[in-house]
Amino acid sequence: MKQVELINATKSYDKETNVLNEIDLEIEQGEFFVLVGPSGCGKSTLLRMIAGLEEMTGGILKINGREANRLAPKDRNLSMVFQNYALYPHLSVEQNILFGLHAKKVNKEEGKRRLQEAAEMMGLTTLLKRKPRELSGGQRQRVALARAVVSEAPLCLMDEPLSNLDAKLRAHMRIEIRRLQRKLGLTMIYVTHDQIEAMTMGDRIMVLNEGHIQQVGKPIELYNTPANLFVATFIGSPKMNIGKARFVSENGQLLIEETIALPIKQPLDSNLVEPRLTIGIRSEHIRFEKEKPTVTLLVASVEQLGNETVVVFEVGKELWTAKWSGQWAITAGDLVPVAIDLAHISFFDSVTGKLLKPATTNVQQEVVAL
């Protein structure tokens, strides 16, 4: 069942430039749907349009099959968690959590039951009498989440709720929010500019850029088969390595950044006829190879992370990143032999940025069945 549907939705503040352009989107009931994109791309505006905090310039919004363009926010049966938490400083944690229920005139016994359940779920039982100023950032975040939970609204909107937290707490809260969403069966629309949050939390992801939808799909689909260069470099950490390439027909090679020559053993696809192309390869597909290397590359920098090593290479005018498991005794300035397989190369149009041919060997095919 479609919980939220946007049909040709647009938004403009000056009636000249659209912040959002013809957004067509369907979000299913019980889905964790992530809106991701760089700052200023329109994702928060889209969320606020669904909430009723921003008017739509054009198009149709449906919630549970009912047109909601002119519905007041209080009539849309949803809850929202804001980036800045939006807690009342003069109210206690308990009063902040129950504020929305008082406005809806939920009886005291029912409110008390919901409060106890939410407080236990969020680990706030001992903090109910404190004021927001006495709480840490993570605790305030949990209060904001608890306030959304007690409303028992089937649709929950979150606008970059973890952006003010430190890295360790963000990782913990990602797990807690996802577990909460599954437990309560909520439909959740989650806005973030952090592609790691998008990849780890979403059932589906919509990538926005400059008000336009770039791609919608499951996280692994966007990772393996990005629709264009923007998605390829935005989804994945480290980002996909990109380089200019051309075919050298005399010796049957693909020459990348005038540095890496890959032999072409099979006939090329008919859509790869451009004299110059842009190619992409993921960091895990640049392998150390001492016996039969494809090329020897100069190391620009090394990041030792303990469980893995991130090596940055100079490839022509580009910097490429390789990610290898374990600890490697490599330093900047070393020449390292690596192997690159043509099967791991994705091809893009250099002018439009559109994907012409995805890598034929990808992560999905390499997953080992248990």
pLDDT digits 0-9 by tens, 313-325:
999 999 999 999 9
Supply the pLDDT for residue 102: 82
| Cβ atoms within 10 Å of 157's Cβ, excluding its own | 25
> pLDDT at residue 178 above 60?
yes
DSSP 8-state class, residue 30: T
Residue 75 has pLDDT above 80, yes or no: yes
Q: What is the pLDDT of residue 363?
A: 47
- Give the closest residue to 157 by CA, choosing from 79, 43, 84, 96: 79
Q: Cβ(29)–Cβ(1) under 8 Å?
A: yes
**Tell me: the pLDDT tens digits for 342-355?**
999 999 999 899 99
Edge-to-edge strands of the sheet including 346-348? 260-263, 253-256, 241-248, 276-281, 346-348, 355-357
Band (pLDDT 50/70/90 cuts) for residue 14 is confident
Please report which helix (H) or strand (E) contains residue 3, including its range: strand 2-12
- How long, in residues, is the chain? 370
Structural domains of the chain sorted by starting position, each given as residue range(s) with its CATH number in brackets: 2-229 (3.40.50.300), 230-366 (2.40.50.140)
* pLDDT tens-digit readout, 126-136: 999 999 999 98
Are the C-beta atoms of residues 257 and 318 closer than 8 Å to each other? yes
- Please tell me what DSSP assigns to residue 284: G
pLDDT (tens digit, 9 = 90+) per residue, 293-307? 999 999 999 999 999
Q: Which two tokens stand for residue 137?
A: 């950032």
> What percent of the chain shows pLDDT beyond 70?
95
Q: Residue 364: what pLDDT?
A: 47
Q: Which two tokens stand for residue 177?
A: 């929010």
pTM of the model: 0.88
